[in-house]
Amino acid sequence: MEQVTFKVVKANVYEEVAKTTSYTGAKMMAGDESAYSRIFTTDEDRLMLERFWTEAANAVVDIFKPFILEVSDLTESHCCDLTRDFEATLELSGSYDTSLNNTIGSSLFSFFTSFIVGKWYKFTNKQDADAALTDASVFLDDVKSKIYYRKRPRRIAPAQP
């Protein structure tokens, strides 16, 4: 069996969410002067984003369920604690391909970001909400396929005399 830990840093995700919503708001200002202030997430919005963070973490746990040895506390907090990262330690098959760890970590980060942006857009930018949530679903499917992927056994050639 192979023990693997995946970690998603909340502060990094929230930073990426801020960049994404800022960019979207700025691009939409040409046709809508209030777009930037409406779409861009601020520190004051983090309490609402916290609920979306918890929902995203629960979705990942659902995928990881068969393999979880340990997972971070997923209790929804009533404040925004940027130190409460998502971390899960899994016990995977011995034929799990550890070379996928970095790409799984990247897809997890992208899932959290897209999911939170998509949920935020449901309130602030409805026309882009479904696309962001579809992206999140694609990233989560990618994580799932890689977690379940098994590398082929390799034959070891007999030693030459």
CA distance 114 to 159: 51
Strand, coil or helix: 8: strand
Extract the residue ranges of the chain whose pLDDT is less than 50: none
Separation of first and last alpha carbons in the chain: 33
Tell me 74's DSSP state: -
Tokens (6 digits) for 142: 């990618």
> How high is the pLDDT of residue 36?
65
What amino acid is encoded at 95 in this protein?
S
> How high is the pLDDT of residue 8?
98
> How high is the pLDDT of residue 23?
82
> How high is the pLDDT of residue 152?
73
CA distance 49 to 55: 10
